[in-house]
Structure 1
């Protein structure tokens, strides 16, 4: 029997991804107009999940219609998915909803109520919700904390290395002196001077200890730095894709606006979208990267 293939969110159908973002747009719009912070997060997520322009324009042109039948949209989200894919989708959706809710640093009562409805529908437990919220907080500060921890750890490691480089040779000399006196309790009262060879040996032990421990710690640090750099590059790739999406969509609306002869409701709507995308573009340029 062939093993059932499990798709991640990126590999799911365009229709499934469109429904997924209808839920996210509903959250962003539930307390009024879409602001640039929420729109920026939506574009980040569209960049991550790779939403095609056809679907993006569908979302932007029909924003006001999503929140009316949000649970119906949630029901259709699970169509055609196996059990593992359903879990991937619902867990990912919960985390992304938390991102949208936190985009403008304020969770309105309407957002909280809508989130509760969606959470109930997808049967998300308290423990799972706590995990998603913790992950969100850690993702927001991952690169900042990594830099701060790196400085602190480097200072601590240097102190440990220095202490080891001094302590081990001193201990070795002390033991040698005790042995020279045949004092098996390591208690020495004599005043025998250390030879130049003893001092040279101690210096050599100190240098070898310092260099050896530093090499081991560097190996461990390099692995962490490599992981951090990989994550940063991936975040940068997603953001670059999101900005390309934004520029392409804005150009579409600008060209459409030029082809309209007179001002009417449609032109006003398109102009507002162009202004919003201008603001999102500026927000991207002034916002730090973080994990999604």
Structure 2
């Protein structure tokens, strides 16, 4: 005959599986043993198990949202070199990553600067911090997302595709100025910006100032309207410094160059 304690354990395991409580399932033997030894009241045991279940649920949710966010690997605020971009306030960026005051209002962040200064890194780092605080983020190269939206338009499901992006509190569009109107019809990008205006936030990185965005949208009026919507509720960071990649390449060249001999000085009279 199977002892009743083993039967109860098997039933409890099945019940916890059915209720989808994996942390409690894993921890209850250890916690009940400790509770028996230390004389915990039932309420303390229950509270401890529930707290661990909630913590594990949060951990799994954050891991799932990080996977969905498609952020650049390793690009966190801890890895960002603020000393290389002196005009960028670390305190300001840290306040931005709290998210509470702007992302709930559908405000935007715009990062401007030449290639290689860390715009994509900073955008991904902000996204990473927001995911850890419970927000949902999507990082995409602008060209990739535009292609998907163009396909949705051809399939007559553009409205639905844009609506699905509403689940993300923040959509990060990297390198918006690499999209050009002569490569493809980019009015879908304007429709995305319009749909999220004052509702959901966007973070956009750009190599060119607004005056050069006429290459992105099909006509000047659309360019003006897109810029107007983006800047209406926006924090703008200028990152106009020398390219990090260029500096690194020049340093590598310097390290690889053989040492120069000092020029000899002719001390003989002419």
Normalised by the length of structure 1, the TM-score is 0.22
More strand as a share of residues: 2
- Greater Cα radius of gyration, structure 1 or 2: 1
More helix as a share of residues: 1
